[in-house]
Amino acid sequence: MTAANMNTAPALSVEGLCVEFRTRSGIVRALDNVSFSVAKGETIALVGESGSGKSVTAYAVMGILDPAGRVTSGRAMLGGLDLLHAKPSQLAEVRGRDIAMIFQNPRTALNPIRPVGRQIADVLIRHGNVPRREAPEQAVEMLRSVGITDPARRAKAYPFEMSGGMCQRVMIAIALAAKPSLLIADEPTTGLDVTTQAVIMDLINDLARKMGMATIFITHDLALAGQRSARIVVMHAGHVVENAPTEDLFTHPRHPYTAELIAATPDSAASLDELAAIPGSLPDLRRTDLPPCRYSERCPRKIDACAQPLPRSEPGAKHFTACWNPQTGAASAPAAAAPTESAA
């Protein structure tokens, strides 16, 4: 996040995205008025608990929502194209070439009956303007660039013959094959070991820097997000509750949910008693009487003003908080003091 980035047009800007799922037991309002943007070459993180709408946001942007899901309003601008209202043929051109995604579980996302080299070559041929004959060779090069040893032999392997970390590297190679301008990484390291996680995250960061690629990194691990991204977007129950530069977010979390999330992360405490649980649970998103702030029923800082519609994000605001009674200054919030110490 630098001043230079702010002057250029964003790589992707999501505005007022609302998504609903029709289920047998009612309509689930999974996303409500989600807005954020990512500048060219910038890495941002979407953070939240499971069920907060992180993945749905990514799926909606990629146009791969479940058929039960429907985008009810909003825009997602990639260059001049609105991804949410583009024709399938337009989307098919953009996906893979301009915007690529890494999925959480590489084993289920890769084609199990196709050698991994062929899967990379497929992308190169379709989106990378690579002649069919040269594609296998370039696929091997891609495998080498993501740090797979003996790539020529590995290119002929099937996903089941590789470890989880290697499969994830293959996924990254596929996603980056056509040199996209935006990468969405949906929990790319969940289920991997910490040592492998560190290497995979280095790899994504390095390649992103080299190619000047914008990255949206989806995770539930606040510490990992803090380490790897310039800006963090915190989500709760389908709302963006806070959107701030990483440093700022950890030292001065303004939304009570962000502060509680930080206080619940094991890294911020020296003993178990210092960790604070977040009371309550996500509200049932099928309810028709959801309060404007979906956190208000769990919130320790609830005031009368919380019954009004949430504050809207101002364009160009550096630190957005969807709260009428935000915490100001680290001193007033004991929960916010812990990460400040560990950061020092």
Partner 1 sequence: MTALLDVAEFSKLFPVSSGSSSWTRLKQRFHGGPEKLSKVYAVDNVSFVIEKGETVGLVGESGCGKSTLVRALTRLIDASDGSVKLGERELTLTPATEFARDPDRARIQMVFQDAGESVNPRFTAFDAIADPLRRLRKLSGKALRDRVETVASQCGLPLQLLTRFPHQLSGGQRARVGIARAIAVEPDLLVLDEPTAALDVSVQVVILQLLQRLKKELGMSYLFVSHDLSVVKLLCDRVLVMYLGKIVESGPAMDVFEHPLHPYTQALVAAVPRFGEDGATRLRLTGEPRSPIDPDPNVCRFYGRCPRGNSDCTTAMPELRRFGTRQVACHFADEFLPASQAKAPPA
Interface contacts to partner 1, rule CB under 8 A: 49-50, 149, 163-164, 193-199, 201-202, 205, 220-224, 226-228, 247, 250, 260-262, 264-269, 271-273, 275-278, 281, 339, 342-344
Q: To which H or E segment does residue 108 belong?
A: helix 106-109
- Decide whether 49 or 137 has the Cβ nearer to partner 1: 49
The distance of closest approach from Cβ of residue 315 to partner 1 in the complex, given in angstroms and rounded to an integer, is 28
Q: Whose Cβ is closer to partner 1: residue 22's or residue 209's?
A: 209
Please say which residue, 138 or 327, places its beta carbon nearer to partner 1. Answer: 327
Q: Which residues contact 44 (CB under 8 A, 6 or more apart)?
A: 36, 38, 215, 216, 217, 229, 230, 231, 232, 233
What's the min distance (Å) between Cβ of 258 and partner 1? 12
Contact 289, 26 (CB under 8 A): no
- Closest contact distance (angstroms) between CB of 73 and partner 1 is 29
Least distance (Å) from partner 1 to the CB of residue 72?
27
DSSP of 291-314, one letter per residue? -SSTTTTT-TT--GGGGSPPPPPP
C-beta of 127 vs 252, nearer to partner 1:
252
Which strands sit side by side in the sheet containing 43-47, from one edge to the other? 99-102, 182-186, 214-219, 43-47, 231-236, 239-245, 320-321
Looking from the CA of 114 toward its CB, the CA atoms found within 13 Å total 12
Nearer to partner 1, 243 or 268 (CB): 268
Joined tokens for residue 230? 């310039």
Provide the minimum distance between the beta carbon of 195 and partner 1 in the complex, in angstroms, as a whole number. 5
CB 232 within 8 A of CB 218: no
Q: What is the closest distance, in whole angstroms, from the C-beta atom of residue 38 to partner 1 in the complex? A: 20
Q: Which amino acid is located at 51 in the chain?
A: G
By beta-carbon proximity to partner 1, the closer residue of 263 and 322 is: 263
